[in-house]
Structure 1
Amino acid sequence: MSKGGASIPDEEWERFLREAEAGGRGAPEEPSARARMVAQRLQEESGPPEGWRTYTPARRRTGRGWAALGLAAAVAVVVVAVGPWEIGSWFDGGDGASATPLAAESERPTGAPAQEAADRPPTVDEPFRGSPAARWSDGTAGIHLPEPRATGWMSRAEVADALAKTRDFLAASSLDPAVLRGERPAEAIGLINPHQSDVRGFLKKALRAPDRENDPLLLFSRFRSSDVRPAGDVVKTRGRVTFREGERGAVQVSTDVTYVYPVVRAEGDSDEVARTIVRREVVVSWDDPAKIVIEPGTFSLVSYKVDTTNGGCDTYTGYLTPTFRAERTAAEARDGAEVDPYDRSTSMEERVREGDDEGCGTATRS
């Protein structure tokens, strides 16, 4: 863990928790993180989501959300889309190298980017060629922050700081080169409230022994460096951050960002570029320390949703596992719903509701 750039050892975590448990009446309350499974809720809107560890997971979607101190039960899903590698529409647009960059995404778009046939695949020199991402911004420049205003317990300046730190979390979890090559996301973890003991337990299991319930890819982008390496030093992004007043005067910040990672094989002399696309909706709560047990400079995790294209289908290794052309066969065809990973005109909950519950989806392009 890190706090203000410093490391927080496990014994400090335990001290935080012991002190919170010993607090008397009138003291701030410790966040109570409760995981929620929503596969059923996406089909039947009646009734609350099922409690964690009481469900039978669907093969396609897993995940969890964290409800802290009366915050609404969160929605969290994973949708894996495997590309139809033999269809001609895998690439769209021209080479994109000289295209005019798009303005920042300040609100949800009304439709998907235009799709145009192209016959030239991406290269190491032009890893985003034929993709809408060619016009996207690089790194955090593609994540739009709104104008801050005094909200809840925070002043305008404090909200501005919370928004900037939230974007720092997105960078540390999904753009940090060390994390992308599989190292521990210590900086990102250090921004999460250490008093969320369930979240802490999830992170510990996910990073040590990932499985379907405890998958670090729900929050972090990680590749196995022995399998792939970056095709260049740019990750394209597009997304936005919004905020509102939450429970108990907290400032609740919602993020919705799509990341495009071009990679090549780590070994051999192949220069074939594959792209992995990850869209995450992460919601965090900047809580009032007078009401919530929280460490300065950290937020409580509320929920997350994840949608991955060419990152592995029903694989729980803790790493994104893109495939290349030679590894793709007709046998890989999927029966799931078609998904355009560049379409940001609907929320991921809507996208999942429109799809099916079994199998992996089919990406219309990469």
Structure 2
Amino acid sequence: MGAGTEPDGSSRSDEEWERFLRESVAGAADAPKEPSARARAVAKRLRAEPDRGPQGWRSYTPPQPKRRTGWYAAGLLASLVLLVIALAPGRIVDLFAGTDSPPLPAETTRPTQAPPVEAAQRPTMDEPFRGSPAANWANGAAGITVPKADAVGWMSAAEVERALARSRDFLAASALDRQVLRGQRPDKAIALINPHQKDVQNLLKTAFRTPSEKNDPLLLFSRFQPSRTHLVGDIVKTRGRLTYREGKRGALQVTADVTFVYPVTRADEGGDEIVRTIVRRELVLSWDDPDKVITEPGTFSIVSYKYDMTNGGCGTPTGYFTPPFGTDRQTDETGTQIDPYDRSTPVGRGEPSGDECRRATRS
């Protein structure tokens, strides 16, 4: 019998038997080994987890970061606010200042209707035009629109432009000058009136000394008595325009139609009651040809003057506007109603007009 015999009776070679004995002593290369403690723990955890099936080598999904919706929305809102401020800074200032609408464009033609009624808001010392259409009007002479100048009659385009500017200067000197508003004599305005126009010069001689219905300085000038009335702030709101055409004897005829809004308070008390005196003036001025009319260079003749006034007082002329305060407002609010901000209709008051007192439907 050889070195080894198989069950079927065949025998192994001596080399095979020797290899078998050697591997038995050293151990076979692919013989199973005892797993480590860590390997046993991992195997136990995997058996405890549910079977998720095989995962493809490209099916790995990285963990998603948490969405920060609140911060994203806040950042977007802040960006939009900065964009609005950059594009319309004036609008933002108006909102914080309490103005609900942007400033109105210049008036170039007569409007077709009255401005809309504002929400009822009481004026304050800091915001004296609050709750009034005038809150969106321009300040002072900036609210008086001056048209483009063309040659008219005896004047060249440059001369017409100069006459229009001086016409606006008269309005500023007669109705916007701070000293005049405080009751002083309007010397700058008077200097622009033709000194050879007798009827107007007669008015000026007596109006400031002994005012009457016929010779009342308020027909041409805006004045308040300092001992009774104080202006609130440094701003008078205005809205209006100048127009022109050729008048008699080739003269340049300029028409001014302007509304002035004066916020005032009582001078002798520390109260906060504010009344807005509103005056709309229509003046027709004639810049005459010195070869045809006796005049002085740089002066005009007054063809006509009209005005509507509310919250300026009634009764015997004093040469000053006398706004009603407190209980005086109840007795003063009689007569014809008028919307002082309605510039769509002609000026209704002329010279003189009796004791009628216009009552404002809003101020």
Which of 99, 121, 124 is the matching residue for 2:101? 99
The answer on whether the counterparts of 2:250 and 2:289 sit within 8 Å (CA) in structure 1 is yes
The answer on whether the counterparts of 2:314 and 2:355 sit within 8 Å (CA) in structure 1 is no
Residue 144 of structure 1 aligns with which residue? Answer: 145
The answer on whether the counterparts of 2:264 and 2:276 sit within 8 Å (CA) in structure 1 is yes
Query: Matches of 2:356 and 2:304 in 1, distance apart?
Result: 24
Matched, 1:221 2:218: no
Higher normalized helix content (fraction of residues): 2
**What RMSD in Å do the two structures reach over aligned CA positions?**
1.9
The percent identity for this pair of structures is: 62
CA gap 1:157/1:104 in 2 versus in 1, 3 angstroms: same
> 1:342 is matched by which residue type in structure 2?
Y
Query: Matches of 2:274 and 2:225 in 1, distance apart?
Result: 16
Residue 198 of structure 1 aligns with which residue? Answer: 199
CA gap 1:111/1:312 in 2 versus in 1, 3 angstroms: same
Query: Matches of 1:109 and 1:132 in 2, distance apart?
Result: 14
> 1:360 is matched by which residue type in structure 2?
C
CA gap 1:222/1:357 in 2 versus in 1, 3 angstroms: closer
The answer on whether the counterparts of 1:96 and 1:131 sit within 8 Å (CA) in structure 2 is no
SS of the counterpart of 2:286?
strand
Query: Matches of 2:277 and 2:182 in 1, distance apart?
Result: 14
Q: List aligned pairs for 1:13-28, cutoff 5 A.
A: none
SS of the counterpart of 2:167?
helix
Query: Matches of 1:357 and 1:215 in 2, distance apart?
Result: 12
SS of the counterpart of 1:127?
coil
Report the TM-score when normalising by structure 2.
0.70
SS of the counterpart of 1:343?
coil
SS of the counterpart of 1:239?
strand
> 1:138 is matched by which residue type in structure 2?
N
- Give the superposition deviation at 1:116: 3.5
CA gap 1:227/1:357 in 2 versus in 1, 3 angstroms: closer
Residue 238 of structure 1 aligns with which residue? Answer: 239
Residue 260 of structure 1 aligns with which residue? Answer: 261
The answer on whether the counterparts of 1:97 and 1:126 sit within 8 Å (CA) in structure 2 is no
Residue 325 of structure 1 aligns with which residue? Answer: 326
- Give the superposition deviation at 1:327: 2.9
> 1:147 is matched by which residue type in structure 2?
K
Count residues with an aligned counterpart.
266
CA gap 1:173/1:285 in 2 versus in 1, 3 angstroms: same
Query: Matches of 2:168 and 2:333 in 1, distance apart?
Result: 37
The answer on whether the counterparts of 2:223 and 2:319 sit within 8 Å (CA) in structure 1 is yes
Q: Give structure 1 stretches of 5+ with no counterpart.
A: 1-94
Which of 354, 357, 360 is the matching residue for 1:360? 357
Q: Greater RCO between the two (CA within 8 Å, min separation 6)?
A: 1
Query: Matches of 2:359 and 2:180 in 1, distance apart?
Result: 27
SS of the counterpart of 2:212?
coil
**CA deviation profile, 1:125-145 (whole Å, cap 9, x unmatched):** 000000000000000000000
**CA deviation profile, 1:199-232 (whole Å, cap 9, x unmatched):** 1111111111101111100000000011111110
SS of the counterpart of 1:229?
strand
> 1:290 is matched by which residue type in structure 2?
D
Matched, 1:175 2:176: yes
Query: Matches of 1:177 and 1:361 in 2, distance apart?
Result: 25
The answer on whether the counterparts of 1:96 and 1:134 sit within 8 Å (CA) in structure 2 is no
Q: Give structure 2 stretches of 5+ with no counterpart.
A: 1-96
Report the TM-score when normalising by structure 1.
0.70
SS of the counterpart of 2:208?
helix
- Give the superposition deviation at 1:333: 4.5
Query: Matches of 1:124 and 1:191 in 2, distance apart?
Result: 35
Query: Matches of 1:365 and 1:283 in 2, distance apart?
Result: 28
SS of the counterpart of 1:160?
helix
- Give the superposition deviation at 1:147: 0.5
The answer on whether the counterparts of 1:96 and 1:135 sit within 8 Å (CA) in structure 2 is no
Residue 337 of structure 2 aligns with which residue? Answer: 338
> 1:113 is matched by which residue type in structure 2?
P
SS of the counterpart of 1:325?
coil
Q: Which runs of 4+ in 1 moved over 3 A?
A: 356-359
SS of the counterpart of 2:154?
coil
Query: Matches of 1:191 and 1:146 in 2, distance apart?
Result: 20
CA gap 1:96/1:102 in 2 versus in 1, 3 angstroms: farther
Matched, 1:113 2:115: yes
Greater CA deviation, 159-168 or 193-202? 193-202
CA gap 1:148/1:365 in 2 versus in 1, 3 angstroms: same
Q: List aligned pairs for 1:156-171, cutoff 5 A.
A: 156-171=157-172
